Structure 1
Amino acid sequence: MADRPGDLGLNEQEAEELAARVWNALGFVQAPDEFSDEGVTLIKGMLGPGSTVDPAALIAASRAIGQPLARLAEWEAEQIQLLARDPAVGLSQEELIETVARVHDEVWRLHLANRLARVDTDAATDVIIGFADIVGYTAMSRRLQMVELERLLESFESQAHQIVTDHGGAVVKSLGDAVMFTAPTPAQAASIALALQDLTSDGVLPTLRIGLAEGPVLMRMGDVFGEPVNIAARLASSAREGTTLVDQNLADALSGDDEVRVKHIPTLSVRGYRRLKASALSRAPHPDAPPEPKVRESRRRAKDRKASQDDDVAED
C-alpha cells in the first residue's frame, strides 16, 4: 500500500485534512483514500518541513499552480489525442506526453529566469493597469459560428499579447473578450493602448475600448489587486467605441508627453465611483495633418449605448 499523508511530518488528522485541501486546491475533485507514491511525493513537496507550513499560503499556492495547469492540460489532451492518431506524426501518445513535459519545463525555466531578472524588492508598487475590451462582443458571439468566434478570440489574444510585450508590458490574464495587462511607465502604457487601437482601425480586430489607471497594487499569485484595477475596468466599460480613457493620475503623468493628446472629459458616475475623473487618450496629431472630420455626437453616443446595452445583457 502507498504511504498515508499522516507520514508527512504532521500528526495524522492534521496531515489528512491538509493533504485533502491541497489536493482539492490543485484542481482535483476529491483526495483518494490512499495516495499513490507520486501523490505522496507531490504532497511532501508542497508541505515542506512539517510544522513550518503556513496552511493558508500553501492552499493559495496550490490553487495558483493548479488552475492554469488544469486549463492547459484540458487543451493539450485534445491536441495530443489528435496528433497520436495522425500517422504523419509518427509518435505515440506517451511519446507526445514526454515531449510536451520537456517543453513545459524549458518554457517555465525561461519565464522564471526572465521574471527573476525583473524583480526589484526596492521598486515602487505603483504600476499602470490596463483593460482592453471588445465592443459589442455579446451580440457578435450570437452572430458568429463557434469556429469563427474561436478564431476571433485567438487573434485578439495573440495580437494583444504581442503588442503588450513588445512595448515592455505584461499580460496578467485574458478574459475572453478582454485582456488585462500592466505597464511599468505611463509612456509605455499609452503606447500599448494606441497600438491596440491601431489594430482595430486596420480591420485586424473588432473595435476596442480601453481603460488605463495608475496607482499602488498588490501583486499576488500571478494576479493583480487594488483600486487601479477597479478604476481601469470602469474606465474601459465607460469608454466610447474605439477610444481609450485614463484616470487622473495617468493624465497628469502624460500631460507633458508630446506624442499623445490627453483631453479631459466630464466626470463619470460608475459603480463604486460617483465622480470619477477621466480623460480621453489619443495620438498627438502631426502639425501638418489635416483637421479630423467631425462625427455627429448624437450618432456616436447612440452607437456607444447600443454596444453597452448588448454587453450588459450578458452581465445580467
Structure 2
Amino acid sequence: MVDFDALEAAGIADARRRAPLIEYLDSLGFTAEQMVAAERQGRLFGLAGDVVQWSGQPRHSLTDAAQALGLPLADVEQAWAVLGLTVADPNTPTLTDNDIEALRTWTDLRTAIGDDAATGFLRVIGASVARVAEALASMSRAGLPELDLAHSHDELVTAQAYRSAAAFIPRIGGMIDSFHRHHLFAARTYFDAIVHHESLTVDCGVGFADLSNFTQLTQRLTPADLTSLLGEFNAITNDVVHADGGRVIKFIGDAVMWVSATPESLARVAVDLVHHPRPKMAHIRVRAGLSFGPVVATGGDYFGNAVNLAARLVAAAEPGQILVAAPWYDMPGKWPVAPREPLVLKGFNDPVTAFEVCAEAEQAARLAQ
C-alpha cells in the first residue's frame, strides 16, 4: 500500500493526483527513497527507465576506483575525462562494479601496449560509444514521441515509454559485443591484404565523396528531409563500400571517407557511389576524390599526404566527377582516365596534376572481365 501522505511530506508534490504514476513505480519495486530522489531531479516519470540504464548500483567513487586499481587518482580522472565523461566530485559514488572492471581492462591494456596506445584506444571507445548513445537517443525520441512529457501530457504514459525504451539497453550492449567481433575479423582481414611499412604505416587507397551543393540543399530542405537524405546517403555508402571490399572510416556531415586495399577497388567504390541511381533519382549529384599511398593508420583513423590529397581533390571536383592525382596514372591495373588541368590545392605548394576517372569506360572494363 502506497503511503501518499508520507510521499508528499518527503517532497513529492501532489502525490495523490499522481497516483497512477506512483503506483506503477511501486509495482516495479521502487522504494519511496528512490522516488523522492527522482522527484528532486525533476524526473519521477523517468525513474522506470533511468534505473535500467545503469549496469548496477553506483557504489564507487573515482577515488575508490583509483584505490581498487592501485593507480593515482589523477590517472583515473584522466581516463574518465578521455571517455568524454564528467564527475563533479571524485568522492561521490558514481561508478558501478562493472565500471571498475571496465577500467581494470584499461589498466591491463596499459601494461600490454603502453600508456599512450591504451589512452588513445580509450578515446576511440569514448567517441564511438557517445555517437551510438546519441543515435539511440535521437532514434528513440523520433520513434517514441511519448518519451516527451510535453507530447504525452501524461506522466504514466511517459514513464511506461521510458521503461519500454530502456529495456533495449542491455540487449543493445549484447549486439555491440557480437558485431564488434565480426568487425574485428574484417579489420584483420583488411590489414592482411595491404602493404605494411612499419607497425602503423600502410599502403592503401583513400577516397572521399560528398553531395554536391550541400549547403544549398540545407537551405531548401526541411530538417526531416535533410535527415532522411543524409540517412539514405550513409546507407548507400555503407552498402557500396563494403560490397567493393573497402572500409568506411567516418562520415563528416555530407561527406564520407573510406579506404580500399587496391586502386581498382577504390575506383569501383567511387564509380558506384557517383553513379548510384538513388541520388540521381532525387536530382542529387555525388563527387569523389581519390588518392593512394603510405598513410598512418591509428586510432581507427588514417592520416598522411594521401588523405589530405583525396580530401582536396573531392573539394575541387565538379558534380558527378571523380578526380585522382598523377601518381595513379602509372599504377598497375586498368584505370581509364582523362587528363585535367593542374589544380592549385590548399596545403600543396605546387599545382597538382589531376586526372578524371572515365566512369563509363571503367564500367565497360568491369563488364568485359
Shift of 1:49: 7.5
Q: Show the counterpart of 2:135.
A: 75
Return the letter of the residue paired with 2:128.
Answer: P
CA contact under 8 A between 1:211 and 1:245: conserved in structure 2? yes
CA distance in 1 between counterparts of 2:268 and 2:109 reads 47
Return the letter of the residue paired with 1:222.
Answer: G
- Residues 1-316 of structure 1 aligned to structure 2 (within 5 Å): 2=60, 3-10=64-71, 15-30=72-87, 32-34=89-91, 36=95, 37-48=97-108, 54-80=114-140, 82=143, 92-120=164-192, 123-124=195-196, 125-199=202-276, 202-204=280-282, 206-253=284-331, 257=334, 260-273=335-348, 274-285=350-361
Could you list the per-position Cα deviations for residues 185-227 of structure 1 after superposition, in whole angstroms to 9, with x for gaps in the alignment? 1111111111112126742561122100010001111101010
Q: Which has the higher helix share?
A: 2
CA distance in 2 between counterparts of 1:50 and 1:278 reads 44
Alpha-carbon distance change, 60 to 143 in structure 1, aligned in 2, over 3 angstroms: same
CA contact under 8 A between 1:133 and 1:178: conserved in structure 2? yes
Shift of 1:145: 0.3
* Matched length: 280
**Mean Cα deviation higher: 26-35 or 159-168:** 26-35
Between the aligned residues of both structures, percent identity stands at 28
Shift of 1:132: 0.3
CA contact under 8 A between 1:132 and 1:208: conserved in structure 2? yes
Stretches of structure 1 lacking an aligned partner (at least 5 in a row): 289-316
CA contact under 8 A between 1:61 and 1:221: conserved in structure 2? yes
> RMSD over aligned Cα, in angstroms?
3.0
**Mean Cα deviation higher: 173-182 or 195-204:** 195-204
CA contact under 8 A between 2:109 and 2:118: conserved in structure 1? no
Shift of 1:285: 4.3
CA contact under 8 A between 1:156 and 1:205: conserved in structure 2? no
Return the letter of the residue paired with 2:235.
Answer: S
Secondary structure of the 2:324 match is: strand
CA distance in 1 between counterparts of 2:117 and 2:276 reads 41
CA distance in 2 between counterparts of 1:238 and 1:159 reads 23
CA contact under 8 A between 1:155 and 1:205: conserved in structure 2? no
Alpha-carbon distance change, 110 to 84 in structure 1, aligned in 2, over 3 angstroms: farther
Shift of 1:50: 7.5
Shift of 1:284: 4.7
Secondary structure of the 2:331 match is: helix
TM-score, structure 1 length as denominator?
0.79
